[in-house]
Amino acid sequence: MSSKKIPYQDKSEKAILPEGPYELLNEVPDKIFIYDEQGTFHFTNSSARTYLAALRKYDIHCFFDLFKADQENIRELHQELVRSVQGERRINTTVDSELTQLQYVTLTVKRFDKANPVLFICNMHVRDLKGEKEMEKQVISEKYESLLENTPAMLWITDRENHPIFSNKSMRNFLGMDICTIDKQEFIDRIHPADHKVAIDDFYDAVVKKEDFTGEFRIITADGNYKWVLERAAPQLDRDGNYLGYSG
C-alpha cells in the first residue's frame, strides 16, 4: 500500500497516513480526528479544524486535552481498543467547561488500521441536549397519552374553566358517548335525579374549594340503563401551584 504525507494544518505537524480519499471526510458535519496513542493529531476534517481553531488560545496539544475532566476514562477506552484491535467504542462525555461553553458530546472511536504506531479515528458528535430533551418529552407525552387512553379505568380531565377536554376509551365505551362533545345539561340529564346532590352539588362544591372529591351515583350507560359508579377526582396543579383543572 502506498502512503502520502498529510499535514495537520493547525500544528504544522506531518504524519504518514495510508493513501485514501480523506477530502470526503470534509463533507461530514461531525468532527473527525485521526490521531495516535499520545493523542497527536494526524488528520482533522474541516469541521474539526474549525472547532480547534476556536480553541487555539487554550492549551490544546493533543486529542485528550479536549476532555480534561474525563481524560482517564477516555484513555482507558483507547487502551481497550489497542488490546482488542477490532471493534469500536462509544462514550458520552463533555468538552472541558474551561475551554468553551459546556458541550455534551458523543465520541465514537475505533482503530484506524492495525499499523504501528497505532492510529485511531474518532467521530465527535456535539449533542443538542435541548433538542434531545424536547424529543424525550414528546416520547414521554405520547406514552402518557397512550397509557391514559388505553387503561381499563375510566379517566377524564378538565381545563382551568372545568370544561371536559379528555375522556379515555374505557369511559367513552361505558357511557356510549364522549363527555367532551356534549353540553353540561345533557350530562346532568344522564345522572339519576335522586343522585344530583352527590354527583353535581357536592362535586362543584369541591371544585370551588379546589378539594378532592369522592362520591357514588347512578348514571345512564351505553346500554340505556342506570349503573352505579364510584367517582374520585382531584384538582391538578402545576409546579408553581397554579390550578390546571380536575382529573378523575
Taking every pair of Cα atoms in the chain, the longest distance, rounded to a whole number of angstroms, is: 95
What's the pLDDT at 19?
66
In 94-104, which positions are buried (b, 16+ CB within 10 angstroms) versus exposed (e)? ebbeebeeebe
What does the DSSP assignment read for 125-187?
A: EE--HHHHHHHHHHHHHHHHHHHHHH-SS--EEE-TT--EEEE-HHHHHHHTS-GGGS-HHHH
Distance CA 179, CA 186 (A): 9
Distance CA 48, CA 68 (A): 18
Grid cell at residue 120: 485511531
What's the pLDDT at 131?
54
What's the pLDDT at 129?
56
CA 161 to chain centre: 32
**Per-residue pLDDT reduced to its tens digit, 100-148:** 566 778 888 888 876 656 788 888 887 765 655 565 556 556 667 777 7
What's the pLDDT at 248?
84
What's the pLDDT at 16?
57
Query: Strand pairing partners for 227?
Result: 219
Give CA torsion, residues 60, 63, 69, 73, to 10 deg. -160
Report yes or no: 44 and 27 within 8 Å, Cβ to Cβ.
Answer: no
Grid cell at residue 226: 342506570
What's the pLDDT at 162?
81
Question: What is the full per-residue pLDDT of the chain (248 aa) written as tens digits?
Answer: 333 433 334 443 445 566 667 778 888 888 888 888 888 888 888 888 888 887 766 777 788 888 877 788 888 888 888 777 667 788 887 776 555 566 778 888 888 876 656 788 888 887 765 655 565 556 556 667 777 788 888 888 888 878 888 888 888 898 888 888 888 888 888 999 998 888 888 888 888 888 898 989 899 999 999 999 899 988 888 777 788 888 88
